[in-house]
Amino acid sequence: MITFKPLKKDDFSTINKYLLLDKTRSCEKTAGALMMWRDFYKIEWAIFDETLIIKYNNEETPFYMMPVGANPEGAIEALGNATFVGICKEDLHKFDKNAEIIPVRENFDYLYEAESFRTYAGKRLHSKRNFVNRFKATYKYEFLFDSDKSELIEFFKEIDKKQPHLDETGKAELDEIIDLLENRELFELHTGAIKVDGKIICATIGTQLHDTLYVNVEKADKDYIGAYPMIASEFAKAFPEALYINREDDLGEEGLRISKLSYKPLCLLEKHEVIVNK
């Protein structure tokens, strides 16, 4: 029997050594994403045969992340009848041939070439480049890397008041963002922010793992035209060794999907739900 326990912030170092073994570039398998949503999704974890198993409990039926470690197939077998989410193509062969596999478009990750964000070069991104040039011409700004946490928290609180929440996830997001900021060093995360006239007007949270920069949070005051492409570009420049950027999924929201597609992704990382019934 596999014994699970609630995921706490002090568990970060233990689970992270397993997450670092994954090379799929999936946003689910980053400590930032897991630690950010550990309370909302009531996340639990266990180690089975040197393999990390993550369990989500926010629905009637629990579901699992792809096991990561020495024996993922054995962990899948040990779980018996179970539903797995966020499963990349590279991991589908680890399931029994009789498992039901369902592509979930709203969970596909958007993967970009990092250099495209640093420069917005070429015709495909000319609109983003124009927004950035307009921003630079209009505002006297300052980019801050890993700046004061209290200022960042105040910014996210103000933005939270301006932006409507469409679902329970959105309503919980502010508390999760504050948790990430308060534990920035522990979770090995970094922040970027842009100030105009001494005030933060956009900010982001993320980290680089292997060759990929993962952007977990990005918020901007829409009153400042070009703030979103500006913060995205400046944050990418802060990680010159990153080859790719994962900007996570679109949750099926039309506006978010249009925005993410407008940055011209290199590809979409397909994610699947896998239902195992023995």
3-state secondary structure at position 138: helix
The confidence score (pLDDT) of residue 83 equals 97
Measured in degrees and rounded to the nearest 5, phi and psi for residue 266 equal -65, -40
The tokens for 94 are 């680890």
Supply the pTM of this predicted model.
0.95
- pLDDT category at 169 given cuts 50, 70, 90 is confident
- Cα–Cα distance, 65 to 29 (Å, whole number): 8
- For the stretch 242-255, pLDDT in tens is 999 999 999 999 99
The confidence score (pLDDT) of residue 98 equals 93
CB 17, CB 70: distance < 8 Å: no
CB 109, CB 27: distance < 8 Å: yes
Torsion of CA 120, 174, 222, 30, to 10 degrees: 10
Would you say residue 167 has pLDDT above 90? no
**How much is the average pLDDT of 258-270?**
97
The confidence score (pLDDT) of residue 60 equals 85
- For the stretch 47-89, pLDDT in tens is 999 999 999 998 889 999 999 999 999 999 999 999 999 999 9
**How much is the average pLDDT of 123-139?**
97
The confidence score (pLDDT) of residue 216 equals 96
- pLDDT category at 170 given cuts 50, 70, 90 is confident
Q: Which of 249, 253, 167, 154 is nearest to 201 (CA)?
A: 154
The confidence score (pLDDT) of residue 165 equals 74
- pLDDT category at 171 given cuts 50, 70, 90 is confident
Per the prediction, the chain carries an average pLDDT of 95
Would you say residue 166 has pLDDT above 70? no
- Residue 104 CA: distances (Å) to CA of 8, 38, 101, 245: 29, 22, 10, 21
Q: Which of 141, 140, 121 is nearest to 130 (CA)?
A: 121
